[in-house]
């Protein structure tokens, strides 16, 4: 019989300034800072029930039991932080395609960090939760927070965490996820990053460029310059994917329809509707736009993609406990 239990929900985030490479594999410290937008459309619900009679953790994903060493290792990190030594039954439901470049690991580990610590009767502040979530998935450090969040690069476990970014603007921002393929990707984010850091001749320039992009996109947010904001996000994504093409062996996350989607967004922009794209480690393209232009952009996209492959998201909340 479980002694301690808690459930939590966390939403995915989409990085607008990308994290692509670690300087510490164990602590998951990034090579550069990043900035993201947490979305309301995609999320993970996770419950953790500690049971002193268990001899190891049990993990269920979408109703099926899984053997996942990463989850087991993460639970050991939670136990180190809470001082609570029981094993647990973990039940997680992804309301987002898994491993398809839609940030399922971000919502998964943010939800697990909150549920597992709360079930151990620990109420950590958001900064510490962000640091713990980072140990499961780098991007999870940002999903602890709603809206825009910045992940501070840091130099050690204590200094690398996310923080919310509060900006006054009237953008009423939306993101359209064009689902090209929701199947797991062939090259994992972790594997891809390691290959790029080790072999891309352009990696040192990426670090410099990403730091400049982060500074500039924050300026665009502060000055409510949506055009500059979108241009920086789009450019940063393309630079990240260029790294993959320059690696040895080279790889990419594009599908033919990904290129088509990017071209369509550029054509819509030429019609006078400000919209910009970004892509993470997967073929799905995300479109950044204002709610005022959403219906027009959707109509244009529906000429090329099925309506049920166009998922609209607004800014979402931070991780929260469920009753």
Between 89-103, 149-163, 199-213, the lowest mean confidence (pLDDT) is in 89-103
Q: Where does the pLDDT of residue 96 fall: very low under 50, low under 70, confident under 90, or very high at 90 and above?
A: confident
CATH for 151: 3.30.230.10
129 and 215 part of one domain:
no
195 and 121 part of one domain:
no
Mean pLDDT of the chain: 95
Q: Is 323 part of any domain?
A: no
181 and 152 part of one domain:
no
155 and 208 part of one domain:
no
Backbone angles phi, psi at 229, to 5 degrees: -55, -50
Q: Which pLDDT value is given to residue 101?
A: 56
154 and 279 part of one domain:
no
Q: Which pLDDT value is given to residue 33?
A: 98
220 and 73 part of one domain:
no
Q: Is 294 part of any domain?
A: yes
Whether the Cβ atoms of residue 189 and residue 281 lie closer than 8 Å to each other: yes
Indicate if the pLDDT at residue 3 is higher than 70.
Answer: no
Whether the Cβ atoms of residue 10 and residue 110 lie closer than 8 Å to each other: yes
Note the pTM of the prediction, 2 decimals.
0.94
Digit-coded pLDDT (tens) for 200-237 = 999 999 999 999 999 999 999 999 999 999 999 999 99
**Beta strands 148-151; 34-51: pairing state:** antiparallel
Mean pLDDT computed over 257-273: 97
Mean pLDDT computed over 181-206: 92
Q: DSSP string of 217-257?
A: HHHHHHTT-HHHHHHHHHHHHHHHHHHHHHSSS------HH
For residue 217, CA distances in Å to 17, 22, 46, 85, 172 come to 8, 22, 33, 43, 17
Which of these three, 167, 194, 224, is where a domain ends?
A: 167
Q: Is 88 part of any domain?
A: yes
Digit-coded pLDDT (tens) for 116-139 = 999 999 999 999 999 999 999 999
Q: Where does the pLDDT of residue 1 fall: very low under 50, low under 70, confident under 90, or very high at 90 and above?
A: very low
92 and 180 part of one domain:
no
Q: Is 318 part of any domain?
A: no
78 and 13 part of one domain:
yes
Q: Is 265 part of any domain?
A: yes
What percent of the chain is predicted at pLDDT more than 90? Answer: 90
Query: Which residue, 303, 301, 280, is CA-closest to 103?
Result: 280
Q: Which pLDDT value is given to residue 115?
A: 98
Which of these three, 126, 141, 167, is where a domain ends?
A: 167
190 and 142 part of one domain:
no
Indicate if the pLDDT at residue 88 is higher than 80.
Answer: yes
Cα–Cα distance, 199 to 225 (Å, whole number): 36
CATH for 222: 3.30.70.890
161 and 274 part of one domain:
no
Which of these three, 120, 140, 167, is where a domain ends?
A: 167
Q: Give the domain range for residue 151.
A: 4-167
Q: Is 319 part of any domain?
A: no
102 and 88 part of one domain:
yes
Using the 8-state DSSP alphabet, how is residue 309 labeled?
G
Q: Where does the pLDDT of residue 97 fall: very low under 50, low under 70, confident under 90, or very high at 90 and above?
A: low
258 and 179 part of one domain:
yes
Backbone angles phi, psi at 21, to 5 degrees: 135, 140
Higher local confidence (pLDDT), 101 or 196: 196
Q: Is 320 part of any domain?
A: no
Q: Where does the pLDDT of residue 193 fall: very low under 50, low under 70, confident under 90, or very high at 90 and above?
A: very high
Number of structural domains (the chain) is: 2
Q: Is 321 part of any domain?
A: no
Digit-coded pLDDT (tens) for 13-70 = 999 999 999 999 999 999 999 999 999 999 999 999 999 999 999 999 999 999 999 9
Mean pLDDT computed over 91-119: 86
Digit-coded pLDDT (tens) for 281-316 = 989 999 999 999 999 999 999 999 999 999 999 999
């Amino acid at each position: 019989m479980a002694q301690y239990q808690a459930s939590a929900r966390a939403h995915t985030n989409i990085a607008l300034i990308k994290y692509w490479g670690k300087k510490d594999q164990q602590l998951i410290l990034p090579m550069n800072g990043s900035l993201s937008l947490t979305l309301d459309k995609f999320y993970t619900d996770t419950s953790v029930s500690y049971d002193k009679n268990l001899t190891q953790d049990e993990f269920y994903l979408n109703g099926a039991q899984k053997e996942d060493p990463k989850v087991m290792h993460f639970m050991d990190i939670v136990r180190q932080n809470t001082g609570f030594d029981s094993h647990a039954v973990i039940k997680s439901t992804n309301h987002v395609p898994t491993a398809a470049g839609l940030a399922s690991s971000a919502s998964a580990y943010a939800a697990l960090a909150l549920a597992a610590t709360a079930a151990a009767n620990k109420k950590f502040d958001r900064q510490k939760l962000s640091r713990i979530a980072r140990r499961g998935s780098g991007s999870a450090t940002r999903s602890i927070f709603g809206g825009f969040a910045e992940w501070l690069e840091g130099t050690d476990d204590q200094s690398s965490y996310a923080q919310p970014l509060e900006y006054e603007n009237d953008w009423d921002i939306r993101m359209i996820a064009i689902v090209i393929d929701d199947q797991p990707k062939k090259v994992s984010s972790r594997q891809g990053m390691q290959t790029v850091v080790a072999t891309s001749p352009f990696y040192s320039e990426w670090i410099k460029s990403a730091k400049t992009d982060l500074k500039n996109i924050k300026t665009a947010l502060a000055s409510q310059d949506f055009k500059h904001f979108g241009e920086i996000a789009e450019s940063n994504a393309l630079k990240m994917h260029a790294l993959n093409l320059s690696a040895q062996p080279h790889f990419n996350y594009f599908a033919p329809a990904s290129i088509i989607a990017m071209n369509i967004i550029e054509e819509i922009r030429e019609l006078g509707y400000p919209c910009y794209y970004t892509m993470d480690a997967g073929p799905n393209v995300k479109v950044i736009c204002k709610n005022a232009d959403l219906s027009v952009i959707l109509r244009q996209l529906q000429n090329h993609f099925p309506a049920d492959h166009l998922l609209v998201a607004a800014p979402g909340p931070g991780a929260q406990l469920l009753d």
